[in-house]
Homo-oligomer: A and B are copies of this chain.
Amino acid sequence: MRNLLVTIRYRGTNYHGFQVQKNAVSVCQVFQDAQEKVFGGRLDIKGCSRTDAGVHANEFCLNFWTDRAIPCHKVPLALNAHLPEDVAVTACREVPLDFHARYDCCGKEYCYLVHNSPVRDPFLEGLAWRYPRRLDDQALDHGAKAFLGTHDFSAFCSTGSTVEDPVRTLYSFQVRRQGDLVRFVVRGDGFLYNMVRILVGTLVQASEKGYTPEMLEEILSSKERSRAGRTAPPWGLYLNRVFYSQQELLDVQP
């Protein structure tokens, strides 16, 4: 028996997230269809995370166990031959038998893309949140630092979700502008339901209304969802990196 860790990349537009759902196409489902053809059977898949409908992944990890002896370097091409154009396997490696893509994950990095322009861009449709009024990226970056460290992030969790422990640690949170694109990159040990999208929505609203970092800290410590801003739309969100090594997770780019 072998345990394979597979990295995939997908454009989430046409999917209802990663997790298999009734009456909706998921990334996991199209992956399983390909896997069945290559590995000769429907295998149990462990994904690193659920992602919401429309959310993208530059890097998403999953693992499964198989008896087949297909060499790891041949797995991407073999699976890609059976996957649709918007999903691709980028890597495969063998891991210890007790490895689990979700339980062994020690952190994740998300990217959120805002297209800050009054004019639509046909090449960014479904790939970025278009925001017409000019955003102050330096103020956004400054505000983002208010969320660094270990906090109860209840104010940034969609209501209705049941999480036992709402405490998470953010290691880095940067906002950078490249032309019309404003890129939010946040790295942490874990994220509550919709947390990144609510953080981005709140920062954008704070930048518009001239909130100080102190006001953001107040929202955080209130633990009340109603105090935070709107949930930014899913199509700007990308799961960027998945960490299985604490050392890599803490090796934050300046």
* A interface with B by C-beta (< 8 Å): 9-11, 56, 76-77, 80, 85-90, 118-123, 125-127
Contacts and interface: CB of A to CB of B under 8 A. Distances in A.
B10 A88 contact: no
Contacts of A125: 11, 85-86
A180 to B, nearest CB: 11
B80 A120 contact: yes
Interface of A: prevailing SS: loop
Contacts of A76: 119
Contacts of A88: 119-122
Contacts of A87: 122
A123 B119 contact: no
A230 to B, nearest CB: 22
Contacts of A119: 76, 80, 88-90
B121 A9 contact: yes
A62 to B, nearest CB: 16
A121 B7 CA distance: 12
Contacts of A89: 119
Given A9-B123, A11-B122, 14 more contacts: A9-B122, A11-B125, A56-B123, A76-B119, A77-B118, A80-B119, A85-B122, A85-B126, A87-B122, A88-B119, A88-B121, A88-B122, A89-B119, A123-B127
Contacts of A77: 118
Nearest to A57: B122
